[in-house]
Amino acid sequence: MIDLLRCQDVQHRYGALTVLRGVRLTVSAGDRHALIGPNGAGKSTLLKLIAGEERPSAGTVHYRGRDVTRDPVHRRARAGIGRSFQHSTLLGSLTAAQNVALALTGGRLLARHTDRRHRAEVAEALAPVGLTDLADVPAAALSYSQCRRLEIAVALAAKPQLLLLDEPAAGMSGEERGGLVELLRSVPPTVTIVFVEHDLDVVFDVATRVSVLHLGTVLHSGTPEQVRRSPEVQQAYLGGRMEEVHGEAGGA
């Protein structure tokens, strides 16, 4: 079976600063693959390389068995790679519904996003994130947490095969995180998810695979259980935080 996504020896430099030094990452179809690691480990950069916003200094990115290393963002988007942004870049002057509609119509300039079929699809996309009542409010007028939820609705509305989420839970309250976990779990297995997340509860509730990035390399990659037990991971990154997760997992 061909892996959905394969990053091979990916390196990336910003000027003199080397952010990624030879990352190997394999993601199979249906995985919920979490990227964790301390700040500056290169997680967001890796997402950008997969989405095509940056080109790697060396190495290749294969998607569905094809080398997409040089493909521009819009072409990868049309091939089914969708993404959410860490710092919200919602279309502020457009309504929540229009933000979703533009994702639904997937890059076609002349697509009609006002007809009834699209309205129904927009409503379907907004309901699970609880934004039905705010459909006609400009995104700029939404609260931070509403923006985060709209961000996810937009990402899912594009019907990606590979969904890249950059810190989906950032700034969410505990209750909202619960909702997010539920939402991500309800995503059909036809959608593969690669996500960067700092909140380990969300990571271990959602992920089927976890890769730990540290100083621009993949320190460890495996099932959540393997990662939890890896001594080098605990030493390098998780530290005392690990005990908490262990405790919770044991208690549940």
Partner 1 sequence: MTSLAQTRAAPARPRLGVGARTATGIAAGTLLLAAAPLYLAPYATTTLTRILVFGLLAASLNLLVGVVGLPSLGHAAFFGVGAYAAAWTAIHGLAGAGALLVGVVVAALVALVAGAVAVRASGVFFLMLTLAIGELTQQAADSWESVTGGSNGLYGVPAPTLFGTVLDQPATTYWYVLGFFVVGMLALRLVSTSAPGVVLRGIRDSEDRMRALGYRTTAIKLGALVFAGAVAGLAGGLLAAQQRLVTPADVGFETSALALLAVVIGGTGSWWGPCLGAALVIVVRDSLGATLDGHGPLALGLLFVLVVYLLPTGIARIRLRRAAS
Backbone φ and ψ of 33, nearest 5°: -105, 115
Tell me which residues in 119-148 interact with partner 1 (CB under 8 A): none
Q: Minimum CB separation from partner 1 for residue 39, in Å?
A: 22
Q: From 17-25, 90-98, 187-195, 214-222, give the range in contact with partner 1 by CB under 8 A.
A: 90-98
Taking CB under 8 A as the criterion, which residues in 48-67 touch partner 1? 51, 53
User: Shortest Cβ distance from residue 73 to partner 1 (Å)?
Assistant: 4
| Nearest to partner 1 of 1, 87 (CB atom) | 87
Distance between CA atoms of residues 1 and 62, nearest Å: 14
Tokens 């297995």 belong to residue: 189
Q: To 10 degrees, what angle do helices 144-157 and 96-104 make? A: 20
Smallest distance from the beta carbon of 156 to partner 1, in angstroms?
12
C-alpha span between 58 and 172 (Å, rounded): 36
Judged by CB under 8 A, the residue of 90, 142, 162, 238 near partner 1 is: 90
Which residue in 202, 44, 199, 237 sits closest to 228, CA to CA? Answer: 237
Candidates 122, 158, 163, 191; binder of partner 1 (CB under 8 A) is: 158
User: Looking at this protein, which amino acid is placed at residue 153?
Assistant: A
Tokens coding 219: 């320190």
Closer residue to partner 1 in complex, CB, 8/105: 105
Asked whether position 73 contacts partner 1 by CB under 8 A, the answer is yes
The only residue of 83, 148, 214, 228 in contact with partner 1, by rule CB under 8 A? 83
Closest CA to 56 of 93, 97, 23: 23
Sign of the alpha-carbon torsion through 103, 105, 110, 116: negative
By beta-carbon proximity to partner 1, the closer residue of 52 and 224 is: 52
Q: Give the C-alpha separation, 51 to 73, whole Å.
A: 6
Least Å distance, CB 134 to partner 1, is: 17
* 78 belongs to the binding site for partner 1 (CB under 8 A): yes
Stretch that binds partner 1, among 19-27, 75-83, 182-190, 236-244 (CB under 8 A): 75-83
Buried b / exposed e along 55-70 (16+ C-beta atoms within 10 A): ebeebebbbbeeebbe
Enumerate residues 91-120 that contact partner 1 by CB under 8 A: 91-94, 98, 101-103, 106-107, 109-114
Residue 70 near partner 1 by CB under 8 A: no
* Count of chain residues binding partner 1 (CB under 8 A): 30
Quick one: which of 144, 157, 160, 17 has its CA closest to 87?
A: 144
Residues that bind partner 1 (CB under 8 A): 51, 53, 72-74, 77-78, 82-83, 85, 89-94, 98, 101-103, 106-107, 109-114, 154, 158
